[in-house]
Amino acid sequence: ELLVALGDWVRDNEDSVETFRSKVDGWLHEESRKYKNDVEELRRKIEVLERQVDERKEAATRVIEPLLKEANDWIEKQENRLEEARLTMEILRKDDELALDKSPLTPPDEQSPKGPPKELLCPITLELMEDPVIAVDGHTY
């Protein structure tokens, strides 16, 4: 009798295990299908996002390239102007050195006087005025 009861128990449990295995297989199949669908949906979304990124990158490039060209042109122009300024400075420096070489070696107070300022000369006779007066209009008489 005990053996019969044990046999019945094993059959009942085998049925329960088989039922449970069937449920697990069904659940696994359903979850796998959902997973595959989710993966496919995510792949489609990724493709859409990648296309959008490419489109925005192209649009940004169309906007940025002219600005970069303009900026580079400006930089090149400024570099050319700086080079011209350097050359001018060198020329002026050489001219100053030549002018210093040609200047008399006597101190400034011993050099010949240049004469009175033009403001102190009479506009008519061009002679030195003795008692000049500055008028309201700024002229000296």
Average pLDDT along the chain: 86
Query: Could you give the 3-state DSSP secondary structure of residue 95?
Result: helix
Distance of CA 122 to the CA centre of its chain: 63
Question: What is residue 77's predicted lDDT score, i.e. its pLDDT?
Answer: 96
Mean pLDDT confidence for 3-13: 88
Q: 71-93 pLDDT, tens per residue?
A: 999 999 999 999 999 999 998 88
Contact 120, 130 (CB under 8 A): no
Q: 31-52 pLDDT, tens per residue?
A: 999 999 999 999 999 999 999 9
> Residue ranges of the domains in the chain?
2-113
Nearest-angstrom CA–CA distance, 29 and 36: 11
Question: What is residue 88's predicted lDDT score, i.e. its pLDDT?
Answer: 92
